[in-house]
Amino acid sequence: MAVNTTSASHTPRAATRQAGAPPQLRAIRVHQQRIIKTVILTVTSLFLGIPPLSMLIFTLRHPLSGRWSLDPWKAIFTADGSALGADLSTLWSGLGISLGLCMATVVIMLLLLVPVMVIAHIRSKRLERIIEWVATLPLTIPAIVLVVGLGPIYRWLSTDVLSSNPIWLCFAYAILVMPYAFRALTVGLNSIDVLTLCETARSLGASWARVFFRVLLPNLWQSMLSASFISISVVLGEYTVASLLGRMNLQVALYQLGQSNSQISTAMSLLALLFGVLLLVSIDLISGAMRRSKENNQPCL
Amino acid sequence: MPLTQHHVVPSETPMQNNTASVSKQSVTQAAQAVLAESAERGGGVQMFGIDKIYAGSTTKALDNFNLEIKPGEMVVLLGGSGCGKSTALRSLAGLEDIQHGRILVGGQDMTSVPANKRGMAMVFQAYSLFPHMSALENVEFGLEIRGIGRAERKRVAMEKLELVGLSDQAGKYTQQMSGGQQQRVALARALAINPRVLLLDEPLSALDAKVRVQLRDEIRRIQLEAGTTTVFVTHDQEEALAVADRIGVMHHGRIEQIADPTTLYRRPTTEYVATFIGLSNKIPGSSNGTEAEVFGHRVPLLDGSASGAAVNVLVRPENIILRAQASDTPGARAHVMMIHFLGSLVRVDTIVDHSGIPVTVQMPASELPTGLRNGSVVTLEPLPIPALAA
Q: Do A203 and B121 touch (CB under 8 A)?
A: yes
Is residue A108 located within the same domain as residue A198? yes
What per-residue confidence (pLDDT) applies to A9? Answer: 43
* Min Cα separation B126/chain A (Å): 7
Q: Do A202 and B181 touch (CB under 8 A)?
A: no
Instruction: Assess if residue A74 is contained within a domain.
Output: no
Query: Which of residues A13, A44, A60 is at a domain's end?
Result: A60
- Over residues A214-232, the mean pLDDT reads 91
Instruction: Assess if residue A290 is contained within a domain.
Output: no
Q: Would you say residue A172 has pLDDT above 80? A: yes
CA–CA gap between residue B313 and residue B306 (Å, rounded): 9
Where residue B39 falls among pLDDT bands split at 50, 70, 90? very low
Instruction: Assess if residue A289 is contained within a domain.
Output: no
Q: Do B116 and A193 touch (CB under 8 A)?
A: no
Is residue A137 located within the same domain as residue A34? no
Q: Which of A200, A212, A217 to mutate to test the interface with B (most CBs of B within 10 A)?
A: A200
What per-residue confidence (pLDDT) applies to B33? Answer: 56
* Residue pair B235/B80 in contact by the 8 Å Cβ criterion: yes
Q: Which of A203, A218, A298 sits opposite B115 (nearest CB)?
A: A203
Containing B153, the helix (H) or strand (E) segment is: helix B150-163
One DSSP character per residue, A124-155 reads -HHHHHHHHHHHHHHHHS-HHHHHHHHHHHHH
Q: Which domain holds residue A126?
A: 93-274
What per-residue confidence (pLDDT) applies to B17? Answer: 37
Q: Do A219 and B131 touch (CB under 8 A)?
A: yes
Is residue A101 located within the same domain as residue A238? yes
* Residue pair A252/A299 in contact by the 8 Å Cβ criterion: no
Q: Which of B128, B168, B174, B202 to mutate to test the interface with A (most CBs of A within 10 A)?
A: B128
Higher pLDDT, B325 or A74: A74
Is residue A117 located within the same domain as residue A204? yes
* Residue pair A276/A236 in contact by the 8 Å Cβ criterion: yes
User: What is the CB neighbour count within 10 angstroms for residue B286?
Assistant: 15
Where residue A150 falls among pLDDT bands split at 50, 70, 90? confident
- In sequence order, what are the beta bridge partners of B134? B173
**Domain assignments of chain B as residue spans, ordered by start:** 279-389
* Residue pair B164/B187 in contact by the 8 Å Cβ criterion: yes
**Chain A residues close to B130, C-beta within 8 Å:** 197, 200-201, 215, 218-219
Kindly report the CATH number that applies to the domain delimited by B279-389. Answer: 2.40.50.100
Is residue A137 located within the same domain as residue A38? no
Is residue A176 located within the same domain as residue A121? yes
Is residue A142 located within the same domain as residue A263? yes
At a CB cut-off of 8 Å and minimum separation 6, what does B169 contact?
Answer: B135, B161, B177, B181, B185
* Min Cα separation B269/chain A (Å): 35
At a CB cut-off of 8 Å and minimum separation 6, what does B276 contact?
Answer: B78, B79, B80, B237, B249, B251
Question: B173, B166, B168: which is closest to B131 by C-alpha?
Answer: B173
Higher pLDDT, A12 or A141: A141
Q: For A188-213, what is each residue's pLDDT tens digit?
A: 999 899 999 999 999 999 999 999 99
Where residue B267 falls among pLDDT bands split at 50, 70, 90? very high
Is residue A261 located within the same domain as residue A130? yes
Q: For B114-152, what is each residue's pLDDT tens digit?
A: 999 999 999 998 889 999 999 999 999 999 999 999 999
- Over residues B30-55, the mean pLDDT reads 70
Pairing of strands B388-389, B308-315: antiparallel
- In sequence order, what are the beta bridge partners of B103? B47
* Residue pair B8/B109 in contact by the 8 Å Cβ criterion: yes
- Over residues A44-55, the mean pLDDT reads 93
Q: Do A204 and B145 touch (CB under 8 A)?
A: yes
**Chain A residues close to B145, C-beta within 8 Å:** 204-206, 210
Is residue A43 located within the same domain as residue A101? no
Pairing of strands B45-53, B320-323: unpaired
Backbone phi, psi, residue B205, to 5°:
-60, -30
User: What is the CB neighbour count within 10 angstroms for residue B60?
Assistant: 20
Query: Which of residues A38, A60, A82 is at a domain's end?
Result: A60
CA–CA gap between residue A101 and residue B291 (Å, rounded): 87
Interface size A-B, in CB pairs within 8 Å, comes to 74
> What ipTM score was computed for the predicted complex, to two decimals?
0.79
What per-residue confidence (pLDDT) applies to B360? Answer: 95
At a CB cut-off of 8 Å and minimum separation 6, what does A14 contact?
Answer: A8
Q: Do A205 and B117 touch (CB under 8 A)?
A: yes
Task: Report the CATH number that the domain containing residue A197 is assigned in CATH.
Answer: 1.10.3720.10
Instruction: Assess if residue A202 is contained within a domain.
Output: yes
Question: A233, A228, A196: which is closest to A215 by C-alpha?
Answer: A196
Q: Does residue A112 sit in helix, strand or coil?
A: helix
What per-residue confidence (pLDDT) applies to A17? Answer: 54
Q: Which strand ranges, in their side-by-side order, compose the sheet holding B320-323? A: B320-323, B377-382, B332-342, B345-352, B358-364
Domain count, chain A: 2
Q: Please, what is the average pLDDT of chain B?
A: 85
Q: Which of A206, A297, A301 sits opposite B145 (nearest CB)?
A: A206
Instruction: Assess if residue A38 is contained within a domain.
Output: yes
* Residue pair A180/A232 in contact by the 8 Å Cβ criterion: no
Is residue A42 located within the same domain as residue A135? no
**Chain A residues close to B141, C-beta within 8 Å:** 201, 204, 206, 214
Q: For B271-282, what is each residue's pLDDT tens digit?
A: 999 989 888 999
Of A152-161, A206-215, B33-42, where does mean pLDDT reach its minimum? B33-42
CA B67 to chain centroid, in Å, comes to 12
- With a pLDDT cut of 70, the percent of chain A lying above it is 89
**Helix spans in chain A (H):** 5-8, 12-19, 23-60, 71-78, 89-123, 125-140, 143-156, 169-176, 178-190, 194-203, 208-210, 217-236, 240-244, 250-260, 262-296
Would you tell me which residues 161-220 of chain A have a C-beta closer than 8 angstroms to some C-beta of chain B?
192-193, 196-197, 199-207, 210, 214-215, 218-219
Residue of A nearest to B176 (CA): A298
Q: Do B130 and A197 touch (CB under 8 A)?
A: yes
Q: Does residue B258 sit in helix, strand or coil?
A: strand
Q: For B227-262, what is each residue's pLDDT tens digit?
A: 889 999 999 988 999 899 999 999 999 999 999 999
- With a pLDDT cut of 70, the percent of chain B lying above it is 88
Q: Would you say residue B287 has pLDDT above 50? A: yes
The reported pTM is: 0.75
What per-residue confidence (pLDDT) applies to B235? Answer: 92
* Min Cα separation B49/chain A (Å): 23
One DSSP character per residue, A153-196 reads HHHHIIIIIS-S-GGGHHHHHHHHTHHHHHHHHHHHHHTS-HHH
- With a pLDDT cut of 90, the percent of chain A lying above it is 38
Instruction: Assess if residue A282 is contained within a domain.
Output: no
What per-residue confidence (pLDDT) applies to A297? Answer: 54
Q: For B47-86, what is each residue's pLDDT tens digit?
A: 999 999 998 888 899 999 999 999 999 999 999 888 999 9
- Over residues A77-93, the mean pLDDT reads 79
